[in-house]
DNA sequence: TTGTATGCGTTATCAC
DNA sequence: GTGATAACGCATACAA
């Protein structure tokens, strides 16, 4: 292991005081050019890197951001978080921050973890993936003035805090439009039961587009919990109606896969999230710009950290339709 | 925000010196029972948690572990890392450690990141997922006495460092046996090109099992880079031979999916990794005990950190075959 | 512009 | 068994 090189080491090497080294690092403009060059050269030669722990003790900032990692829930949607995490880590590193992981069983447990993380590691901020109606976690954080950004907007109060989200409605609208343009008229929607902000938003996009083209969505709407079997059930149910649909816009790749199986491949189907499953079976799906979303989350969070803590910011990103063989 | 509660706060509340509080935390046995109880009560009442930054400055240990997060490579295998990360984070937290993420483009870049992380954050150790022949990363870490554990064994020198791995050969052996027991005799292997430790190991499991049952594997072995199209190509190639196989043991779910498509669903197929794709389409696949593997990695790493740095440890875990509809 | 002194919260060394 | 003191590496107010 290389010797530990501190500010003192650099100072001695560059023949200046420790303070001057600190100035070069934190307020370069107040140091004379020639001195600064000498110090910078010493830093490079010695390979000096500031010790975060010491810096944190002094400044109270850890340069650490936290995000929760969830167990792959229903299996099919796990890669979404994966891509988001990678994007976050990359963007954070570019800004001089690091990402720390934590797990939690539920909201109450997560709040307990917030408390621990804050007390022990002095975390600078949190990125929450997803938020519910009346989220207790965001309230807890806000009450304590802990900086945070959510990926997913708060449905009950859009401007309460900063968030980044994908325009879900635009995604399903795009899928619906594509189906209409390729000749379909009876286009069904296989979604989640009403009540989830994201699901309702995606339903809206389908419904509005249908109406915009003077197509009647009545009776073409089904809702079920996420899952392949549920998607198949919904599709079968729709196919047995008097005037059955010729295409399905689905709220997730899981439901889409089910619909695809039920339809025997003879109907057009679109999914949502562009998961590996969609890529594997050639399912046309709405793709979220996850790396971009992650980067914007980091941007917003760091903006909160660095700049004035005044006001919140919202970012709405556009998804894109990845056309494959099923639509 | 609650007031900052330090050792001094606790000491004042419990009417003892700061040092006594520290003793209660680090060497409880040398403190008188009654005093210890009083201090512990104060800690609980005040909700005191040790400040990691300060502790780290003194002890040189950050209680931080790092792991690399990779961009979902070929799409289909992303969830494996996801599950592993969750398991790591969970196990680490239980032992009082936290997991930090980093990204890297290649080995050289990763080593640079090691250096930065070590210098800036005083990381306690690394978990590397996967290791190649003559891995420069493990050499770099070993040379500097940085504790690390790999998930995946070093193929060139099995006992050079501590690792946790899954018995790949046992996995394909199990799949092959299952196919033999259900009546198949011509069982092909769709693998990766020779040279990758993992791929060769999985091929061995198939080959050995065939021979154990007096079945001739000659001519039933194909190798291709990972991918659905490649799997389909291999399967088609095998199916046009004079005595075509009736079943395919595949080295990955991607290749298995391709084989499945090429065989038109009329042949038995098994995959490897039990990815969401396998779950979605009902593909029989070998499942790795990822949460367990992650926990063992953490165990080994912390053992290195706490205990004597003498000797290395190896853990080989058994995979299990998840039987679905394709075999 | 540069140098000096001080404290962040913790633990280790030493007297008591 | 307990309490004072120093030190970890850094950044800031202040004096030179």
Evaluate whether residue B2 is within a structural domain: no
Beta strands in A122-191 (DSSP E): 125-129, 148-151, 163-166, 187-191
Evaluate whether residue A12 is within a structural domain: yes
Same domain flag for A25 and A101: no
Facing residues of A269 across strands? A248
Same domain flag for A255 and A205: yes
A52 closest CB neighbour out of B78, B120, B144? B120
Q: How many CA atoms lie within 13 A of B323 on its CB side?
A: 8
Q: Which ranges of chain B would DSSP assign to H, the alpha helix?
A: 7-14, 18-26, 33-46, 52-59, 78-94, 107-121, 136-143, 168-181, 197-212, 228-239, 253-262, 276-281, 290-306
Taking alpha carbons only, the member of B308, B315, B316, B317 closest to residue B147 is B308
- Interface contact A1-B89, CB threshold 8 A: no
Same domain flag for A237 and A258: yes
| CB of B117 closer than 8 Å to CB of B66 | yes
Domains identified in chain B, total number: 3
Evaluate whether residue A321 is within a structural domain: no
Same domain flag for A70 and A161: yes
What distance in Å separates the CA atoms of residue B39 and residue B20, rounded to the nearest whole number?
8
Q: Is the pLDDT of residue A1 over 50?
A: no
Q: Is the pLDDT of residue A37 over 60?
A: yes
pLDDT at residue number B79: 75
Residue in A96, A129, A276, A288 to test binding to B, most B beta-carbons within 10 Å: A276
Same domain flag for A34 and A177: no
pLDDT exceeding 90 applies to what percent of chain B? 77
Same domain flag for B85 and B31: no
pLDDT at residue number B326: 94
Q: Is beta strand A268-272 parallel, antiparallel or unpaired with respect to A314-317?
A: unpaired
Residue identified by tokens 């090691």 is B114
Average pLDDT of the segment spanning B36-41: 92
Same domain flag for A235 and A298: no
Same domain flag for B77 and B184: no
Q: pLDDT of B289-304, one tens digit each? A: 999 999 999 999 999 9
CA closest to B278 among chain A residues: A277
Q: Is the pLDDT of residue A270 over 90?
A: yes
pTM score: 0.92
- Interface contact A280-B76, CB threshold 8 A: yes
Evaluate whether residue A97 is within a structural domain: yes
List of chain A residues whose C-beta atoms are within 8 Å of the C-beta of residue B276: 72, 75-79, 275-277
Task: Name the residues in A13-72 having a C-beta closer than 7 Å to nucleic acid strand C.
Answer: 16-20, 23, 30-32, 35-36, 54, 57-58
Same domain flag for A127 and A268: no
Residue identified by tokens 């009082």 is B96
Which structural domain, as residue segments, surrounds residue B189?
Answer: 168-287
**Residue A28 pLDDT level (bands cut at 50, 70, 90):** confident
Evaluate whether residue B326 is within a structural domain: no
- Interface contact A78-B78, CB threshold 8 A: yes
Same domain flag for A176 and A112: no
Evaluate whether residue A266 is within a structural domain: yes
Q: Which two tokens stand for residue B162?
A: 């501590």
| CATH code for the domain in which residue A32 is found | 1.10.260
Distance B116 CA to C2 C1' (A): 30
Same domain flag for B114 and B136: yes
- Interface contact B120-A57, CB threshold 8 A: no
Facing residues of B129 across strands? B151
Same domain flag for B79 and B177: no
Evaluate whether residue A81 is within a structural domain: yes
Q: Is the pLDDT of residue A3 over 80?
A: no
Q: pLDDT of B103-133, one tens digit each? A: 999 999 999 999 999 999 999 999 999 888 8
Evaluate whether residue B65 is within a structural domain: yes
Q: Report chain C positions within 7 A of protein CB atoms.
A: 1-5, 7-13
| CATH code for the domain in which residue A279 is found | 3.40.50.2300
B75 at A interface, C-beta within 8 A: yes
CA closest to B85 among chain A residues: A69
- Interface contact A1-B144, CB threshold 8 A: yes
CA closest to B6 among chain A residues: A119
* Protein residues contacting strand D, judged by Cβ under 7 Å: A 4, 6-8, 18-19, 22-23, 25-26, 48, 50-51, 54-55, 57-59; B 16-20, 23, 30-32, 34-36, 54, 57-58
Mean pLDDT score across all residues of chain B: 92
B252 at A interface, C-beta within 8 A: no
Q: Is the pLDDT of residue B2 over 70?
A: no
List of chain B residues whose C-beta atoms are within 8 Å of the C-beta of residue A279: 75-76
- Interface contact B57-A62, CB threshold 8 A: no
């Amino acid at each position: 292991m290389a010797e530990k090189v501190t500010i003192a080491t650099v100072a001695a090497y560059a023949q200046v005081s420790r303070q001057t080294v600190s100035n070069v690092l934190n307020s370069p403009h107040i140091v004379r050019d020639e001195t600064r060059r000498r110090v910078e050269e010493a830093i490079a030669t010695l390979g000096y890197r500031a010790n975060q722990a010491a810096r944190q003790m002094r400044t109270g900032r850890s340069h650490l951001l936290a995000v929760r990692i969830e167990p792959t829930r229903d299996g099919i949607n796990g890669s979404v978080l994966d891509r988001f995490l990678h994007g976050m880590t990359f963007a954070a590193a570019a800004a001089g921050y690091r990402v720390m992981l934590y797990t939690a069983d539920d909201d109450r447990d997560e709040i307990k973890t917030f408390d621990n993380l804050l007390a022990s590691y002095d975390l600078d901020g949190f990125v929450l993936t997803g938020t519910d109606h009346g989220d207790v976690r965001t309230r807890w954080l806000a009450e304590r003035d802990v900086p945070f950004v959510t990926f997913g907007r708060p449905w009950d109060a859009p401007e309460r805090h900063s968030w980044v989200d994908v325009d879900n409605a635009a995604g399903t609208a795009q899928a619906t439009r594509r189906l209409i343009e390729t000749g379909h008229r009876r286009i069904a929607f296989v979604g989640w039961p009403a009540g989830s902000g994201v699901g309702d938003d995606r339903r809206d996009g389908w419904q509005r587009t249908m109406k915009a083209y003077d197509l009647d969505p009545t009776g073409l709407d089904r809702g079920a919990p996420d899952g392949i079997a549920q998607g198949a059930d919904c599709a079968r149910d729709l196919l047995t109606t008097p005037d059955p649909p010729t295409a399905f816009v689905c709220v997730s790749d899981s439901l889409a896969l089910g619909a695809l199986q039920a339809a025997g491949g003879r109907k057009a189907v679109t999914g949502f999230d562009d998961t590996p499953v969609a890529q594997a079976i050639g399912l046309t799906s709405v793709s979220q710009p996850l790396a971009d979303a992650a980067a914007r989350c980091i941007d917003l969070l760091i903006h909160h950290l660095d700049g004035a803590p005044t006001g919140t910011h919202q970012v709405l990103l556009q998804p894109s339709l990845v056309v494959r063989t099923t639509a």
